Structure 1
Amino acid sequence: MTGPARKEAKMVESIVDTGKRDLLPAERQDMILSLLTRQSVVTVTELADLLNTTEITVRRDLTILANAGLLKRVRGGAMSLSGTTTRKGGAPRLSSAIPPIPAPDGISDLTVPSLSDDMSGNQPVIGAMMPEPSFFWPNVIESIRETAAELGARVVSRESSYDRIDETEILDMIAGEPALCGIILSPSGRPDVAELTWEWIEHSPVPVVVVERDQPIFGTCFVDSVRTNHHFGVRKAAVHFLQHGHTRIGAAFSDTPTSTVIENGWKHILNDSDRIECPFIEDGIQPYDTSGVDGIVDKIIGSGVTAMLVHSDYLAIAIAQVLERRGKRVPDDVSLISIDGYATPSSRPLTVLRSNSKDLGEICVRTLMQRIATPDTATKHIFVDPTLVDRGSVADIRER
């Protein structure tokens, strides 16, 4: 097995316990799409090995994803449609530069005298636990590493997953690191898994910063957090639509750990204003669900909406593909904004709302360092606005 393949095998090992069960088709297809955001080409043999399945099953999955317009089939495997290039270490480099978001007041200039080698000479350690596979989290971890290095610390990262695995075992491993001074983590989006994780956080031996997750509604554990301000991001999308004359707008959301927050933000806009009419909101539809995507397009055409707000990227791509097959073009006939715009292929540029992984990682580290330096200060919850990247998929209809 090649070096990249070994790396991806390690990644999948954190998700799949082959001794327990086989993966569901939706899980395999999610992993294939995520893998193709980290490397441009995958082979059928490699995927069969990583996913612990047969090559026939892999070919069937690739055909489903290719028919949905989410990847390109090539002899012996598949190729990503993504317009990203690859950084050293395998994390994708975004093709469009994102302007930096300044850190909160008092954090960027923070000096932390407690970040010095302990008596045994060990360099201070920051633990990190993030989900895999994903095109988003590797960039967050890279930013955490860069910022920690500037402050004289090193990072020990462990991968969790979107599956039902015991995250407390991973955190126990991190807690065993000598010279550990703090942990940055993203608990599972599954309530049954997250409950145990939050109990662990409440009794953590070191300060914790939670990234991209809210604490349970009735939880008793309050720790610092850093999150993308999806509510404000959705407002940016609404304003962009209105500025181009769109007032009749539909919405569709995949099932992800952040989809509920995004959908709630959209519903707040609809409830608090009468400027936008939204004939339908479809949620829980995955991009490889052919009948589900066809149903969304049926509603787009039947309802006469002029624009769509869509999460995630792959669902937006799938909708655009089906619209095109039905004789409808983006943006001439239907305008579209995609939320969490990382994997949009260069062949189908879409206007996107993009979380800033670099700033999220940096602010997480600096927030942790501030907590270490001043442990008795009030808990902080920091929100980082997403960036709206205009790629021309919203047409101006004011003069039509």
Structure 2
Amino acid sequence: MNDQRTMIGPTREEATMAENKNDQTGRDLLPAERQDMILSLLTRQSVVTVTELASLLNTTEITVRRDLTILANAGLLKRVRGGAMSLSGTTTRAGSLAPSFAAPVPAPDGISDIPLPAGIDDPNGAKPVIGVMLPEPSFFWPNVIESIRDTAGELGARVVSRESSYDKIDETEILDWIAKEPSLCGIILSPSGRPEIAERTWDWIAHSPVPVVVVERDQPVFGTCYVDSVRTNHHFGVRKAAVHFLQHGHTRIGAAFSDTPTSGVIENGWKHILNDSDRIDCPFILDGIQPYDTSGVDGIVDKIIDTGVTAMLVHSDYLAIAIAQVLERRGKRVPDDVSLISIDGYATPSSRPLTVLRSNSKELGEICVRTLMQRIADPEAATRHIFVDPTLVDRGSVATIA
């Protein structure tokens, strides 16, 4: 199960992502961005070297070593001579990692068998092109892009993609570049979570020369541009987490959320549950704390111990891992003393067996392509917003209490 490769550099796709990102932003990566990319890379291979990371991140080896030290001190990776390793040696009490994959989510009715519409081929015989603009490298988006490529290929189309950034970058420049493709038939994209950036992107979408499908983003509340979208149903996901906790006897549950483009949706879903029912006592909700913010993670653990919660809902995976590490240093074990459910579901199989809510990147990518094909085939159809439920993967980090 664990990747046994050593001394492996970034893949061509990862190197291209980093190169494109630096080209687009014209700046050095921020420490948080570098550290996110290091953690993301360690979800796909077990070992990285300082030299490889310096090249991928376009920075110095001294800076990389400093980042690795910060992440190691937070308990998110293991330092080794010349580089770092993922925490793949962590096992369950039974001595083995729990299964990392669950059954795929079926596509919604009416989507799975949509063929490539006739009449969109280039006059010169070129394959129709699907443009893709999704955020910078992470453990989630590359899998979505791979699924988009696979599905497009099965339908006779090809994909042209560029990565956007979570930072302040003009996404319309990327979209203008994609729009120059002569055989472009549609675009799949995820606008920035920053309102000041997203406003221009949504304006571009409103005047797009081809159909657009938006993935993992809702349109602005008072926006006038209505396009098809495909999203993880995070509101239903947190309901799954709440039910799982309750089934194991937990009613006093805390929550902590990193600052990500989807954290607001997840947090709102949790608050809806608390407002609609009195079955859960949630003494605190902490947000905006990153996993490598050691003082912030210590503060979360202080709250856990001081309030006596028996369970925690956490986003993201790495924040959950950091919390578990600090709990154990304080003499508290997971799940014996504190149960955890993490919302991400990608990093934990190679690091720590936590019960997770995981978005299905393969299904999201496939449904995006088929939704786009349906829009091309029937431009006047009603706008569709498709939600894919996340899967709850039980890896035993929720204990049953009396």
Length-normalised TM-score, structure 2? 0.92
Matched, 1:46 2:52: yes
Note the C-alpha offset of 1:5. 6.0
What does 1:171-186 align with in structure 2 at a 5 Å threshold? Answer: 171-186=175-190
Question: Please, which runs of 5 or more residues in structure 1 have no aligned partner?
Answer: 84-93
- Aligned partners of 2:25 and 2:169 also within 8 Å: no
- Name the CA distance, whole Å, in 1 between partners of 2:129 and 2:399: 49
More displaced 10-residue stretch of structure 1: 146-155 or 221-230: 146-155
Structure 2 match to 1:97 = 101
The secondary structure found in structure 2 opposite 1:235 is: helix
Structure-to-structure mapping, 1:316-335, within 5 angstroms? 316-335=320-339
| Paired AA for residue 140 in structure 2 | F
Q: Structure 2: how far apart are the matches of 1:285 and 1:24?
A: 16
Q: CA deviation at 1:145?
A: 1.2
Q: Which amino acid aligns with 1:53?
A: T
Secondary structure in 2 matching 1:295:
helix
SS, match of residue 158 in structure 1 = strand
- The question of whether the paired residues in 2 share the 8 Å contact of 1:5 and 1:46 is answered with no
Instruction: Indicate whether 1:288 and 2:292 are aligned.
Output: yes
In the TM superposition, what are the counterparts of 1:205-220 in structure 2 within 5 Å?
205-220=209-224
- Identical pairs, percent: 86
CA–CA distance in structure 2, aligned partners of residues 27 and 141 of structure 1: 20
Aligned residue in 1 for 2:231: 227
In structure 2, C-alpha distance between the alignment counterparts of 1:52 and 1:106, rounded to whole Å: 45
Aligned ranges 1:343-354 → 2 under 5 Å: 343-354=347-358
Report whether the alignment pairs 1:314 with 2:318.
yes
Give the one of 37, 41, 51 matched to 2:43. Answer: 37
Q: CA deviation at 1:346?
A: 4.1
1:38-77 matches, cutoff 5 A: 38-77=44-83
* Aligned counterpart for 2:304 among listed residues 300, 308, 322: 300
CA distance in 2, matches of 1:331, 1:288: 22
Distance 2:162 2:26 in 1: 21
Q: 2:18 aligns with which of 3, 9, 12?
A: 12
Which amino acid is 2:359 matched to?
S
* Contact 1:244/1:397 (<8 A) preserved: yes
Q: Counterpart of 1:123?
A: 127
- Sort the Cα spacing of 1:65 and 1:198 in 2 relative to 1 into closer, same or farther, 3 A: same
> 1:15 aligns to what SS in structure 2?
helix
Partner SS state of residue 348, structure 2: coil
1:284/1:6 CA distance change after superposition, 3 Å: same
How far did residue 18 of structure 1 move?
Answer: 9.8
Per-residue CA deviation, residues 84-143 of structure 1 (Å, 9 max, x unaligned), is: xxxxxxxxxx96333222222222222343265332111111111111211101111111
Q: In structure 1, what is the equivalent of residue 346 of structure 2?
A: 342
Q: Which amino acid aligns with 1:51?
A: L
Cα 1:149–1:290 shift into 2, 3 Å: same
Q: 1:279 to 1:114 in 2, by over 3 A?
A: same
Paired with 2:357 and 2:21, the residues of 1 have a C-alpha distance of 28
Tell me what 2:144 maps to.
140
**How far off is 1:153 after superposition?**
1.1
Letter matched to residue 54 of structure 1: T
Structure 2 CA distance for partners of 1:366 and 1:6, relative to 1, 3 Å: closer
TM-score (norm 1): 0.92
The answer to whether the Cα contact below 8 Å between 2:24 and 2:169 also exists between their aligned partners in 1 is no
Hey, what does 2:164 align to over in structure 1?
160
State the shift of 1:42 in Å. Answer: 1.8
Cα-to-partner distance string for 1:49-82 (whole Å, 9 max, x where unaligned): 3333332222121111011111111111111225
SS at match of 1:199: helix
Q: Is the 8 A contact 2:99 2:395 kept in 1?
A: no
**AA matched with 2:329:** R
Structure 2: 5+ residue stretches without partners: 1-6, 90-97
The CA RMSD over aligned residues, in Å, is 2.0
Give 1:331 deviation, angstroms.
0.3
1:380 corresponds to which of 373, 380, 384: 384
Q: Tell me how far 1:361 sits from its aligned partner.
A: 0.6
Contact 2:238 2:269 in 1 (8 A): yes
**How far off its partner does 1:21 sit?**
4.0
Is the 1:14–1:161 contact (alpha carbons within 8 Å) kept by the matching residues of 2? no
What is the deviation of 1:193? 1.3
Is contact 1:209-1:223 (8 Å) kept? yes
Change beyond 3 A, Cα 1:155–1:321: same
Match of 1:129, SS? strand
The residue type paired with residue 147 of structure 2 is S
